[in-house]
Amino acid sequence: MRGQGRPRLTRRSRVLVAAGLLALAGTAALAQMSVSIVPPLTGAEQPMETAPANPIPKWVIDDVRRMRAYPEQPPVIPHSIEGYQLSVNANRCLSCHKREFTEASGAPMISVTHYMTREGQMLADVSPRRYFCTACHVSQADTPALVGNTFIDMSELGVGHAGDQ
């Protein structure tokens, strides 16, 4: 008989194939629509067009310690660190900020937390997890803000100190 050796698609299989094709067509249509809805991430210029580079920012090198913006913020670096060696073998920051060198250099000592392990055990030297200073601390550059800042400090909100009546 005709077609006896070939397996036939059941109704359920045909419905699944049709649903898959419909989902594929719908996905393609959504992808085409999203191009017109979502702006490109590359900006207004064409991707391969040559555009002038922004000027390199000037580093703030006045050695004035800056106020922190939030309680647990690492302090910013108020001086130039250009040319500083910071590798597994050497850390120029520690030549001034390490506990035993601060008196001669006049630099602030690194926090005692930099001498602690994760478990809170004190070490004789800087903890390996705190050795690479620029993982948390950054040099301050004279650049305009990328986004607006509406942060208001608690002291400006009229909140008094604990115990003040």
Cα–Cα distance for residue pair 159/53, rounded to 1 Å: 45
Q: Is 106 left (phi over 0), alpha (psi -120 to 50) or beta?
A: left
Q: Is residue 1 predicted with pLDDT exceeding 60?
A: no
Quickly state the pLDDT bin for 85 (edges 50, 70, 90): confident
Average pLDDT over the chain reads 81
Quickly state the pLDDT bin for 57 (edges 50, 70, 90): confident
Phi, psi dihedrals of residue 134, rounded to the nearest 5°: -75, 5
pLDDT of 104 reads 92
**Number of CB atoms found within 10 A of residue 159's CB:** 10
Q: Is residue 36 predicted with pLDDT exceeding 60?
A: yes
pLDDT of 141 reads 82
**Number of CB atoms found within 10 A of residue 127's CB:** 15
Structure tokens at 9: 């698609």
* Percentage with pLDDT > 70 across the chain: 82
pTM for the model stands at 0.56
Q: Is residue 163 predicted with pLDDT exceeding 70?
A: no
pLDDT digits (tens, 9 = 90+) for 97-153: 998 999 998 888 998 999 999 999 999 999 988 889 999 998 888 888 778 878 777
* Percentage with pLDDT > 90 across the chain: 16
pLDDT of 161 reads 67
162 to 10, 30, 70, 78, 155: CA distances (angstroms): 75, 56, 19, 32, 12
**Number of CB atoms found within 10 A of residue 76's CB:** 16
**Number of CB atoms found within 10 A of residue 92's CB:** 14
3-state secondary structure of 59: strand
